[in-house]
Amino acid sequence: MLNLYREVSPGSYEMFDDDNPLTTVHNGRDGDSYELKLFVRANDLHDYTNISVLPDDGFGGLQDIAGPGNPGPTPGTSGWGIKLLADPGYTPSKAEWDAADFGGQLPLADIIGDDSIYRPFWIRLISPYNISVGCKENIQVFLMCTDTP
């Protein structure tokens, strides 16, 4: 199975799951963004091909976070947004984030029979301004792939 991780210190990774979700804090008065480098790793020796990372609003689509169900240059109807970027080997610049679409799918390289490979990518969460205090709990990231035991 493929899982999401973040690096907590060099060579040490923390896995995200239902019991340990990724949690972020945003400025609802002024709006802001939060960028984080994440990793995909297999926890078995299966062959994983056609790996893609896809943001989702928790309702089976992207209407809430990336426009009317399609990737594009503006956030969704709520003002929230997710952008994904391939890891360029450094922290992405503002220009690189600006060029990325909200809600876009990100392909990653295959993981073939190896449970020690971490495939990096970047995620940027955008929050709108002038929103009420509360929790935004329905933003998710899905991993899609072909799994061959």
Q: Which amino acid is at 145?
A: C
Which residue segment(s) compose the domain that 135 sits in? 2-148
Q: What pLDDT is attached to residue 19?
A: 82
Question: How many domains are there within the chain?
Answer: 1
Q: Which residue has the higher pLDDT, 57 or 98?
A: 98
CB 22 within 8 A of CB 16: yes
- Give the tens place of pLDDT for each residue, 101-131: 888 889 999 999 999 999 999 999 887 777 7
CB 140 within 8 A of CB 66: no
- Give the tens place of pLDDT for each residue, 77-110: 667 788 899 999 999 999 999 888 888 889 999 9
Q: 27: domain CATH number?
A: 2.60.40
CB 122 within 8 A of CB 24: no
Phi-psi region of 28 (alpha: psi -120 to 50; beta: other; left: phi over 0): alpha
For residues 33 and 17, give the distance between their C-alpha atoms in angstroms, rounded to a whole number.
22
